[in-house]
A and B are shown apart, each in its own frame.
Chain A
Amino acid sequence: MTGRALLSVEDVAVDLPTARGNLRAVDHVDLALAPGRTLGIVGESGCGKTMLSRAILQLLPKQAKLAGRVMFDGQNLARCDEPALRKLRARSLAVVFQDPMTSLNPVLTIGTQLIETLQEHLALDLGAARKRSAELLAAVGIPAPEQRLAQYPHQLSGGMRQRVAIAIALSCEPRLLIADEPTTALDVTIQAQILDLLAREQRRRHMAMILITHDLGVVAGRTDEVAVMYAGRVVERAPTQALFKRMQMPYTEALLGAIPKLDAAPHAPLPAISGRPPDPTRPLAGCAFAPRCRYADGHCASAKPPLSAAETPAHHYACFHPLRLAEGAGA
């Protein structure tokens, strides 16, 4: 962590009542992010990464119960009222979702959606808002931006729609951008373009960014720090280099090992993780990964390992039997 935090998530827990009982979606998470930095949050479906981002944005489902504090620029978002939150989300806290149609209105033109946002929040007049909209579309790599303003979302490809969603998210110069699986629905060549675009705009604007993904490959080259989540908890958190070079948590190792590698020989068996994540409505007494972990023993089944500091700075992990890996191992 360098500099003063723009965002700090302090002991945040999210509970969701379900027919099968209480579901602890986020289990006491602490995170901090300084301006201009990128944090990757990695985990598989159901690990709580999206619920955590919604807790930060205060966009949780109505029945959800949030505990802990979400401090953004000195104020606790959990205590803000709806008008204040609306203003914050418009100006300072932007979000890009996996499916761009989540944030785009299908019956309004791209231009209307951008221009309205700019007029509402930056008090620009129509001419200025229109000019700024075209500039934003050009900045996110949309060819012929003037013509695009008159088009509807369905007339664009998935990659182009995601660019429009990014343009809207960036339109009011946010200080924090949360990108929740922004490229999962896109093809690999388009994914690379969108990730490049996000990285470029993030640097240019000195914006803080949270990149949420299931793909360790996406965070490896594009984040300063990474938090790995499993069953609602952050199980390892470290500067990106340290995480890949000296990972401590067996789950992180297993997740990395399970990715097919381009340099592996054809037909080489993959080191798969056996079993599957635990039922979140039936919390385990011990480490949630223990039933699938090859290092687990009786202690792991009965006690929850706390998030503790590794030898390397800013590196934390939640495991009783951390890995002792040499440089470069784990691949």
Chain B
Amino acid sequence: MMLDVMRAAWSGTLLKVENLVVEYGAGSKTVHAVSDVSLEVARGETLGLVGESGCGKSTLGRAILQLRRATSGRVLFDGEELTAMKGEALRRMRRRAQLIFQDPIASLNPRRRIGDIVAEPLVISGVKDAREREAQVSEVLSAVGLDPALVMGRLPHEFSGGQCQRVSIARALVLKPEFIVCDEPVSALDVSIRAQILNLLEEMKARYGLTLLFIAHDLAVVKAVSDRVAVMYLGRLCEVGQSAQLFARPAHPYTALLLEAIPVPDPDVRPAERVPAGEPPSPIAPPSGCRFRTRCPRADQQCREEIPQLRLVAPGQHVACHHPLA
């Protein structure tokens, strides 16, 4: 495995994804959503996963949790192969790995009370004693900053987006999981609320000893919470590295483009004048070789012919590019 070097730096691997491929049919065509992705997440680590819409980052998150089955490849969670599990075994594993969605309001059942929504995972996992459930729900609601006495009997529509996201986080935490996939958890929230939720996720991570896969399109948001960052483009990983390093010295031209395009709240920083034209191609017919080559200023014949593999370019930094930035 090419990521073994990185792995040695961490105390232990909780999640290992090997050559994962997710493809699905669209009429007579095939959507190449995730193509040959390998990565590892160490226990206690937050791995950020960034990319633009349609790059396959959410599909990858769901395939890790087995909410969408992979076409090929393996997902190992704490040494056990999730991709080979079914039925009760998989359900048991799922208690240890949870998901938080982007749209906090749509992800809560509008007809159920907050107390029942947060208790549902406990019911499913067989906690029969109602008082025991209520105690656990109260504890986790307090942890996310909601007053259990005030919120348990109310319905989702009585709450703002930020509060609904707190409820979603409580629901994800109630089974005391080890691992949470956060899929764009703050994209639908206003700036002032976004900061509250990001801080809350960091607090919860420390309090419950969580490992996170944090999926987002906003690089600054990802940097705020991640130890390492993986950049994805059109189904493939472009670059994986320690966050501080990856942001200071991006090696992949696509990472550099993403960084360049972020509007900076400082009038002295002139916006990038030359963001390259063009848009990501369709994942139905991805370009041969390097998938970024159609938008890349450095692309040449080799990029058209050979798929670049992730390789080490600096300690803790891997890039899949034939012509990485110095």
Interface residues of A (CB under 8 A from B): 44-45, 141, 157-160, 187-193, 195-196, 214-218, 220-222, 240-241, 244-245, 254-256, 258-262, 264-274, 276, 331
Across-interface contacts of A264 in B (CB, < 8 A): 223-224
Distance between Cα atoms of A195 and B272 in the complex (Å): 10
B191 on the A face (CB < 8 A): yes
10 closest residue pairs by CB, A with B: A217-B263, A272-B195, A270-B195, A273-B192, A187-B52, A258-B195, A44-B190, A192-B261, A260-B224, A260-B220
The residue on A at minimum CB distance from B275 is A192
Q: Does B23 contact A (CB under 8 A)?
A: no
- Whether A45 pairs with B190 at a CB distance below 8 angstroms is yes
Would you give 29 A-B contacts (Cβ < 8 Å), ordered by A? Answer: A158-B53, A160-B279, A187-B53, A188-B52, A188-B217, A188-B261, A190-B279, A193-B275, A195-B263, A195-B271, A215-B263, A220-B263, A220-B265, A220-B267, A221-B263, A221-B270, A222-B271, A255-B192, A258-B195, A259-B195, A259-B220, A260-B224, A261-B220, A262-B247, A270-B195, A272-B192, A272-B199, A276-B160, A331-B266
CA distance A214 to B190 in the complex (A): 8
Interface of A is mostly: loop
Please give, as numbers and ranges, the residues of chain A lying within 8 Å of B264 by CB-CB distance. 217, 220-221, 262
Interface string of B46-58 (1 = CB under 8 A from A): 0000001100000
Q: How far is B247's CA from A265's CA once the two chains are assembled, in angstroms?
A: 10
Report if B194 contacts A (CB, 8 A). Answer: yes
- The chain B residue with its CB closest to the CB of A217 is B263
Known: A193-B275, A221-B267. A187 touches B217 (CB 8 A): yes
Provided the pairs A188-B261, A192-B261 are in contact, do residues A271 and B195 lie with their beta carbons within 8 angstroms? yes
Are B224 and A196 in contact (CB-based, < 8 A)? no
Whole-angstrom distance between the Cβ of B23 and the nearest chain A Cβ: 21
Residues of chain A within 8 A of B223, CB atoms compared: 260, 262, 264, 266
A193 proximity list for chain B (CB < 8 A)? 275, 277
List A contacts of B269 (CB < 8 A).
Answer: 220-221
Within 8 A of A (CB), among B142-171: 160, 162
> In the complex, what residues of B have CB within 8 A of residue A273's CB?
192, 195-196
Q: Tell me whether B123 is interfacial, beta carbon within 8 Å.
A: no
Q: Are B262 and A188 in contact, with the CB atoms below 8 A?
A: yes
Among A188, A195, A217, A261: residue with most chain B CB under 10 A = A188
Whether B190 pairs with A188 at a CB distance below 8 angstroms is: no
CB under 8 Å from chain A, chain B span 170-194: 190-194
Judged by a CB distance under 8 angstroms, whether B257 is at the interface is yes
